[in-house]
Amino acid sequence: MNEELLTLQNLSKYYTSDRLVTVGLNSINLAFSRGEFVAVTGESGSGKSTLAHVLGGILPYEGGELLFKGKPTSHYDGADWERYRRDCVSFISQNYGILPGATVMDNVVSALRLTGISKAEAKSEAEKILREVELWELRSRRAAKLSSGQKQRLSIARALAKPAPILIADEPTGNLDAENSAKIISLLAKAARERLVILITHEFSEAENFVTRHISIHDGKVVMDSLLREPAAPEEPKAVPKRKSRGLFAYVAGLQLRSRPVWSALMLFFFTLTVFAVFSLAGTFISALDDTPTRLYDDSAFQNGDSQRIAVAKADGSDMTEKDEQTLLGVKYVESLESYGYLSDIKYAYREDVDYRWRYSLDTVSGKGPDGDYQRVSSVSFIQSEMPFAKTVPEFPDEREFLSDGRLPENMYEVVAAGDESLIGSSFPVFLQDGKNWSRSAYIYIEVTVVGVTDYGKGLYFHDDLGRVFLSDVEMFAKISSSSRRNYYYLYMPAPDLSGAEARLDKSTYEQIRSARNEDSFEFPMPRLDYLSNREKDVTLNFIGYHLSPFNGIIEVSPEKFAELGRSGKGGQISLTIEDYAYTDRVLNELTKLGYAAVSPYRECSTIQDPTLARQRMQTLRICAAALAVALVLQVVVQRAMFSLETESYLLMKNIGLDCKTARLSILCQVLFFALFGQVLGLLAILGFGAAGIESIGRLLRYLPASHMILLSLIHLGACCATALWIMNALQKQAYPNSGFVSDLDWSALDDEEAKQ
Ligand code: ADP
Ligand code: MG
């Protein structure tokens, strides 16, 4: 007698729906052995499929007992059934049960891989089987594109690939023509040489010449069981290969991704999009947390409120040294350093009609003067304020070329200007105004020559000598100025307030002014004022320019005198220019750590809140927070919905032996794949847009330090994993309703037995 594989003792199966109980199988007693080829027939609804599914371990049974190799299965838990489906049966279902999106090859390989066979082995085995069922030529075609005959052959190929002792086929020829049916039956007959084959069919005639036994059921009961021929002694079953199912989940995940290229691409696109949204929204949110831009700048402490400027002094008030400069240049995000930080608070103006405009009120008096008729302008309203700031030539931390042409200034009357080389050699007047220390309308006026040009920044870069002039102690020079005013022996002096100052206009300019549209005020270029040029070489204090009212002059001294009059060191304040305002906090923290006193003038002096801007900012914050929440929720919902499309293929794979744990892990694996690649692509997109000059996006990135980026990535990943858990649980509920994780049966005993035979 051949080995008895399946024994049914009074086995009953009921289908219970809401109120109805249908009997699927009614107290069946049967025994099947290896080598048998059994045909089960019966009319539609008689219970054939039910029997097949119960024997295949796909449906549970309620009454009696099913013995496998003489051992009862009624106490099997989920994990035991998983093992049974994986190792003991091959199941061919009526509707093929193949993975429609996967290729023919993948369908067979996956069945083999699920049993724990290694990749290489599975491939060579699959080739053998595909040649046998004549599908080798079509190996890379998607299963969905096969004809019904080919699909059924594929599902048989898959069943044959698995070295299970039992093969159950539920109406495999149902949709086939005679020729194809015959092929299928002969394949099954061949398979029966080494296993038990149970063929469910409604067309007994086509199997009649092959089967060894014919069972007929009716209303869930066996009504006939006849032996047609003695089964041959079964051939030696294929050796069961060693199981190495490690990494199987990754294979399943990969299979799922490959089987649905469009789905995968959409998912990747969607994840990329959410990452893009999450990062840009978070960047916007973080940048809007800073309310400085909603405040108006008050320039009474620092005239130059450039947002990229950081003013640094030694915390103990001592002078800056060369070493300090090196240290400060080494701080990350520092773009350049200006030794004379004070100078950055002094404005200059040049190109009289472009950068520097007086605005006079029209309160004029006309009269006759020694030079002819004139109009007296009684007061000055204000000066156009978009004047660049004076700076000394900056130092860069890297080897950057400051000059694009020309040379560096060698004295305080030579400058480097931002602009093109056509500027080199041009001279123009420069008006210096120290809003911090002088009256608002006090100016120093010098004439400078451009000796070099630069692409860096905007404005004029002076020689250090000019810096020293302003660095020099104001009080000291004020003293000099008040004591020696008549002798002009001073570097600069505060000018008297300009209100009430006189400026002469010629008649035609006045007419021009009168016809100007604005009746109350008007603009015109500031008249260029003469200055005394009285250079005398070899005089220690060399007077060069002075104009009585309304301007003050400055005097030129030798560099040695500058050094003598000014401080010996480099003074107390340095101005750093950082790459972007977004880095302000990071740079300030670093400077504080290094022991410096540092402020962002822009931030410190932006004081009065603009209610409209403040409202806009709050709105931005709210919108960003809401949009972030929406993006994350959308991500969860779409992810869940998209993954539910995979459920069917998981059910199919479950039927051929995919266990619950691997199924769950493979989902996690796919989600991680999308999340991580989405993050990479999303970030690349942001970086790409930033690099492509879309400033609004490049800006956001600068507000996200690495730590924030990592945190955001983790939050995104966390959301993905939480959703994955949700999807995994839903799948488990659907496909593995009573799954345990660990089989507590002694399967090894069974394996040993198998090995013995
Ligand atoms: P066959 O395959 O021989 O056509 P089935 O095994 O599919 O028969 O069905 C046997 C009986 O069980 C039928 O009365 C059918 O209506 C019932 N049945 C099958 N599947 C279900 C189900 N999922 N729920 C309820 N009743 C079912
Ligand atoms: Mg059926």
| DSSP for residue 142 | B
For atom 16 of ligand 1, which residue has the closest CA? 45
Q: What is the mean pLDDT of residues 11-30?
A: 89
**pLDDT band at 618; cut points 50, 70, 90:** very high
**pLDDT band at 238; cut points 50, 70, 90:** low
Residues of the chain with pLDDT > 90, as a percent, come to: 38
Structure-token match 């006079």, residue found: 360
pLDDT at 352: 58
With left for phi above 0 and alpha for psi between -120 and 50, is residue 559 left, alpha or beta? alpha
For atom 15 of ligand 1, which residue has the closest CA? 45
Q: What is the mean pLDDT of residues 461-473?
A: 72
Answer yes or no: are the C-beta atoms of 624 and 287 closer than 8 Å: no
Q: What is the mean pLDDT of residues 453-479?
A: 68
| DSSP for residue 537 | T
Q: What is the mean pLDDT of residues 558-576?
A: 56
Q: Which residues surround ligand 2, an ion (CB under 5 A)?
A: 49
pLDDT of residue 578 exceeding 90: yes
Answer yes or no: are the C-beta atoms of 656 and 97 closer than 8 Å: yes
Cα distances from 502 to residues 353, 487, 499, 510, in angstroms, run: 20, 24, 9, 14
Structure-token match 């086929």, residue found: 169
**98-145 per-position pLDDT tens digit:** 899 999 999 999 988 888 888 888 899 899 989 988 899 999 999 999
pLDDT at 180: 81
DSSP three-state, residue 583: helix
More confident residue, 532 or 238: 238
The tokens describing 77, both together, are 């838990």
> CA 390, CA 115: separation in Å to the nearest integer?
78
For atom 10 of ligand 1, which residue has the closest CA? 47
With left for phi above 0 and alpha for psi between -120 and 50, is residue 333 left, alpha or beta? left
| 15 alpha carbon – ligand 1 mean position (Å) | 8
pLDDT of residue 410 exceeding 70: yes
pLDDT of residue 509 exceeding 70: no
pLDDT at 46: 92
- Amino acid identity for residue 623 in this structure: I
Confirm or reject: Cβ of 216 under 6 Å from ligand 1: no
Which among 78, 72, 88, 76 is positioned nearest to 8, based on CA atoms?
72
Q: What is the mean pLDDT of the chain?
A: 78
Question: How far is Cα of residue 738 from the mean position of the Cα atoms in its chain?
Answer: 39
For atom 25 of ligand 1, which residue has the closest CA? 15
**pLDDT band at 366; cut points 50, 70, 90:** low
pLDDT at 670: 95
pLDDT of residue 330 exceeding 90: yes
Rg of the chain over Cα atoms, rounded to whole angstroms, equals 45
**pLDDT band at 559; cut points 50, 70, 90:** very low
Q: What is the mean pLDDT of residues 388-403?
A: 88
Confirm or reject: Cβ of 21 under 6 Å from ligand 1: no
| DSSP for residue 389 | B
β-bridge pairing 21-33 and 4-16 = antiparallel
For atom 24 of ligand 1, which residue has the closest CA? 15
For atom 17 of ligand 1, which residue has the closest CA? 24
More confident residue, 527 or 538: 527
HSE-CB at 501 with a 13 A cutoff on CA atoms is 16
More confident residue, 675 or 747: 675
Q: What is the mean pLDDT of residues 526-531?
A: 33
Q: What is the mean pLDDT of residues 599-618?
A: 88
> CA 722, CA 40: separation in Å to the nearest integer?
47
- Amino acid identity for residue 338 in this structure: E
> 361-392 burial, b if ≥16 CB within 10 A, otherwise e?
ebebeeeeeeeeebbebeebeebeeebbbbbb
pLDDT of residue 535 exceeding 60: no
**691-719 per-position pLDDT tens digit:** 887 878 888 888 888 899 999 999 999 99
Confirm or reject: Cβ of 13 under 6 Å from ligand 1: no
**pLDDT band at 357; cut points 50, 70, 90:** low
SS (H, E, C) 610-640: CHHHHHHHHHHHHHHHHHHHHHHHHHHHHHH
| 17 alpha carbon – ligand 1 mean position (Å) | 12
**181-190 per-position pLDDT tens digit:** 888 888 888 8
Partner residues linked to 65 by β-bridges:
9
**pLDDT band at 249; cut points 50, 70, 90:** very high
| 40 alpha carbon – ligand 2 mean position (Å) | 11
| 333 alpha carbon – ligand 2 mean position (Å) | 73
Q: What is the separation, in whole angstroms, between the first and last Cα of the chain?
A: 14
pLDDT at 501: 34
Give 128's contacts (C-beta < 8 A, 6+ positions apart): none
Which among 592, 293, 348, 570 is positioned nearest to 459, based on CA atoms?
348
| 575 alpha carbon – ligand 1 mean position (Å) | 86
- Which of 11, 12, 15 has most ligand 1 atoms within 8 Å of CB, for mutation? 15
| 526 alpha carbon – ligand 2 mean position (Å) | 101
**189-223 per-position pLDDT tens digit:** 888 888 899 999 988 888 888 999 999 999 999 99
**pLDDT band at 174; cut points 50, 70, 90:** confident
The tokens describing 60, both together, are 């549970």
Atom of ligand 1 nearest to the CA of 220: 10
| 688 alpha carbon – ligand 1 mean position (Å) | 59
Partner residues linked to 167 by β-bridges:
90, 197
The tokens describing 660, both together, are 């619950």
pLDDT of residue 3 exceeding 90: no
pTM: 0.71
Structure-token match 């070099």, residue found: 452
Alpha-helical regions (H) of 170-242? 178-191, 204-207
- Amino acid identity for residue 402 in this structure: F
| Count of C-beta atoms within a 10 Å radius of residue 334 | 22
Give 562's contacts (C-beta < 8 A, 6+ positions apart): 465, 468, 469, 472
Answer yes or no: are the C-beta atoms of 301 and 604 closer than 8 Å: yes
**652-695 per-position pLDDT tens digit:** 888 888 888 899 999 999 999 999 999 999 989 988 888 887 87
- Amino acid identity for residue 11 in this structure: L
Cα distances from 378 to residues 381, 557, 740, in angstroms, run: 10, 36, 96
> CA 669, CA 675: separation in Å to the nearest integer?
10
**pLDDT band at 478; cut points 50, 70, 90:** very low
DSSP three-state, residue 145: helix
Confirm or reject: Cβ of 612 under 6 Å from ligand 1: no
pLDDT of residue 481 exceeding 70: no
| 95 alpha carbon – ligand 1 mean position (Å) | 15
Q: What is the mean pLDDT of residues 90-97?
A: 84
Atom of ligand 1 nearest to the CA of 47: 6
Answer yes or no: are the C-beta atoms of 650 and 665 closer than 8 Å: no
For atom 12 of ligand 1, which residue has the closest CA? 24
pLDDT of residue 471 exceeding 80: no
Give 183's contacts (C-beta < 8 A, 6+ positions apart): 149, 153
- Which of 13, 46, 215, 222 has most ligand 1 atoms within 8 Å of CB, for mutation? 46
> CA 415, CA 393: separation in Å to the nearest integer?
9
Answer yes or no: are the C-beta atoms of 138 and 146 closer than 8 Å: yes
